[in-house]
């Protein structure tokens, strides 16, 4: 397309900025609210920039102090104490990393097996996986709950870890299968002729070549595990074992909702995802140097 006239460009930029603002506004507003003192949060009219930036909401989350709301002359305890916030955060981290590690391990081995070896069913396994990906988690959650109950894992982080494997494994398998198919088999043949055993070929040659795909699958898996609500809601019932997603909903209990605290928790919940997001950007841009094979 040819370059646009100056006026058109200005309009385009304006629209772009407006759209970007609209998309990011919820997070911006949450950030702004989280940096306000309880008084400023309730103040009207609501202002975008906090009149006084304060980190007390974040402090409260991290230290877990019971908060009080000043209703006229008395102090009333607000929402459920944030004392479990750090536990929730830790739980989310552990469960996300754990389920991702398991999914990646299983799907990497499986994808390699399906692309390089010949046996019955190797062709339908990836499509079967894709089918699994399409099953909504609401359908899976109760049967899985019963499985976890059978294994006596309910209310433990293990149940979530394995539960998330069930929703991340299908897509990881599909993604990695597509990726492994694109790795030229000559690389492995050359390594075998060089004297490497099959396992050595897998570790030395195949895994490094598949690194971008593995990282993409890992990022996807981390995002899905971190963001899940349903499984955690059904599997876990003691408050300290909850991950962030279900935990923060407890802030609605109590006589009064501490929006500053809520927004601070929303921000903290999003920060790890935002970091992953930036990592993903760079990875998508980097691409895969296929220069070793002709072309």
* Interactions with another protein, residue window 10-29 (CB under 8 A): 12-13, 15-16, 19-20, 23-24, 26-27, 29
Token pair listed for 254: 């109590």
Tokens of 76: 């009333």
Nearer to another protein, 69 or 145 (CB): 145
Question: Is the CB of 7 or the CB of 45 nearer to another protein?
Answer: 45
Exposed, middle or buried, 128 (CB in 10 Å: 0-12/13-18/19+)? middle
178 to 207, contacts with another protein by CB under 8 A?
Answer: 184, 186-187, 189-200, 204-205
| 214 near another protein, judged by CB under 8 A | no
Token pair for residue 28? 């911006």
Nearer to another protein, 179 or 259 (CB): 259
Q: Which of 39, 66, 277, 286 binds another protein (CB under 8 A)?
A: 277
Residue partners of 127: CB distance under 8 A and separation at least 6: none
143 binds another protein per the rule CB under 8 A: yes
Q: Give, as ranges, the residues between 46 and 105 that touch another protein (CB under 8 A).
A: 46, 105
Query: Quick one: which segment of 50-58, 69-77, 81-89, 106-114 binds another protein (CB under 8 A)?
Result: 106-114
Q: How far apart are the C-alpha atoms of 200 and 142, rounded to whole Å?
A: 42
Shortest distance, position 65 Cβ to another protein, whole Å: 21
Query: Looking at the chain, how many residues does it have?
Result: 295
User: Nearer to another protein by C-beta: 86 or 113?
Assistant: 113
Taking the complex as a whole, how short is the minimal distance between the CB of residue 214 and another protein, in angstroms?
13
Alpha helices in 35-84 (DSSP H): 38-42, 56-63
Q: The dihedral of CA 40, 44, 48, 51: what is its sign?
A: negative
**3-state SS, residue 242:** coil
Measured distance CA(93)–CA(269) in Å, rounded: 11
> Which of 144/236 has CB closer to another protein?
144
């Amino acid at each position: 397309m040819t370059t646009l006239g100056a006026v058109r460009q200005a309009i385009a930029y304006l629209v772009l900025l407006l759209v970007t603002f609209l998309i990011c506004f919820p997070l911006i507003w949450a950030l702004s609210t989280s940096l306000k003192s309880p008084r400023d949060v309730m103040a009207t009219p609501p202002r975008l920039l906090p009149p006084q930036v304060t980190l007390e909401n974040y402090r409260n989350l991290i230290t877990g102090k019971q908060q009080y709301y000043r209703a006229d002359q008395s102090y009333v305890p607000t929402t459920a104490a944030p004392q479990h916030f750090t536990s929730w955060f830790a739980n989310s981290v552990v469960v996300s990393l754990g389920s991702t590690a398991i999914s990646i391990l299983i799907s990497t081995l499986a994808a390699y097996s399906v692309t390089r070896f010949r046996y019955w069913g190797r062709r339908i396994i990836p499509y079967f996986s894709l089918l699994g990906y399409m099953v909504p988690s609401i359908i899976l959650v109760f049967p899985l709950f019963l499985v976890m109950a059978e294994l006596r894992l309910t209310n433990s982080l293990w149940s979530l870890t394995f539960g998330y494997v069930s929703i991340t494994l299908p897509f990881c398998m599909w993604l990695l299968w597509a990726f492994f198919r694109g790795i030229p088999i000559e690389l492995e043949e050359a390594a075998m002729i060089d004297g490497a055993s099959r396992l050595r070929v897998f570790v030395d040659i195949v895994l490094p070549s598949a690194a971008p795909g593995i990282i993409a699958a890992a990022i996807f898996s981390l995002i899905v595990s971190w963001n899940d609500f349903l499984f955690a809601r059904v599997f876990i019932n003691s408050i300290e074992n909850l991950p962030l997603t279900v935990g923060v909903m407890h802030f609605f209990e109590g006589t009064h909702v501490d929006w500053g605290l809520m927004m601070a928790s929303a921000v903290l919940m999003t920060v790890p995802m935002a970091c992953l997001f930036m990592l993903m950007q760079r990875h998508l841009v980097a691409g895969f140097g296929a220069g070793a094979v002709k072309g």
